[in-house]
């Protein structure tokens, strides 16, 4: 069984992320969605809340497990026996950062391949920080995030 890890900060998870999880889950036997700390980012939701939101959003996918991990991504992937790291691509602007991360991870762990899935065009504009901003300013994020996340953004 091929195992993949889909890492991200998911602060919060959006329909764009869910789209990538669905694509990965249809190809891999098991997918670990890992809520991982990005040391360069300020956190909004705590790890447990982010994990809860993703779990709620993908509970219909039986081969997906959602976990929290604080450390190096390649260490987590090795621990899970994963052969691939999944990342989503939205636009050309994602490429440079993703290219650098993929090559850095490959340098640290040549056995693990990074695989990119193109997000659905419907979600190509989405990002977690935009969702947070809209929500904080009282706008509607309907259609951008799963219903359980919408509820959490409104205060649970
Ligand atoms: N749909 C919608 N939005 C998407 C998306 C998609 N398919 N794919 C990415 N995004 C958005 C996210 O919402 C996020 O937006 P934001 O910046 O507004 O929050 C942005 O794209 C990128 O976020 P994410 O995919 O969560 O990546 P990240 O850059 O926050 O985190 C880690 C990357 C966690 C995987 C990386 O930092 C990591 O591996 N950290 C562990 C430490 C480590 O191993 N470091 C060495 C790595 S080379």
Half-sphere exposure of 59 (CA within 13 A, CB side): 9
The verdict on whether residue 153 carries a ligand-binding annotation is: no
* Domain layout of the chain by residue ranges: 3-153
Average pLDDT, the chain: 95
Model confidence pLDDT, tens digit, residues 33-71 = 999 988 888 889 999 999 999 999 999 999 999 999 999
Tell me the best of 5, 7, 45 to mutate to test the pocket of ligand 1, counting ligand atoms within 8 Å of each CB and taking the most.
7
Rounded to two decimals, the pTM is 0.95
Tell me if the bond preceding 48 is cis, omega within 30° of 0.
Answer: no
pLDDT digits (tens, 9 = 90+) for 81-113: 999 999 999 988 889 999 999 999 999 999 999
Check if the beta carbon of residue 150 is closer than 8 Å to that of residue 13.
no
Neighbouring C-beta atoms of residue 53, cutoff 10 Å: 25
**From the alpha carbon of 9, which atom of ligand 1 is closest?**
26
Q: Which fold has domain 3-153?
A: Rossmann fold (3.40.50)
């Amino acid at each position: 069984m091929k195992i993949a890890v889909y890492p991200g900060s998911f602060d919060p998870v959006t329909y764009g992320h869910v789209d990538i999880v669905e694509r990965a889950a249809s190809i891999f036997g098991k997918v670990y969605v890992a809520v991982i700390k990005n040391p360069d980012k300020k956190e909004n939701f705590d790890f447990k809340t982010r994990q809860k939101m993703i779990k709620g959003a993908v509970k219909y996918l039986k081969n997906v497990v959602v976990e929290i991990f604080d450390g190096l991504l390649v260490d987590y992937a090795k621990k899970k026996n994963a052969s691939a790291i999944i990342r989503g691509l939205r636009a050309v602007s994602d490429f440079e950062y993703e290219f650098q991360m993929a090559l850095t991870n490959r340098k640290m762990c040549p056995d693990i391949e990074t695989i990119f899935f193109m997000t659905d065009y419907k979600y190509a504009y989405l990002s977690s920080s935009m969702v947070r901003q809209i929500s904080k300013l009282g706008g509607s994020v309907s259609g951008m995030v799963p219903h359980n996340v919408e509820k959490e953004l409104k205060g649970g």
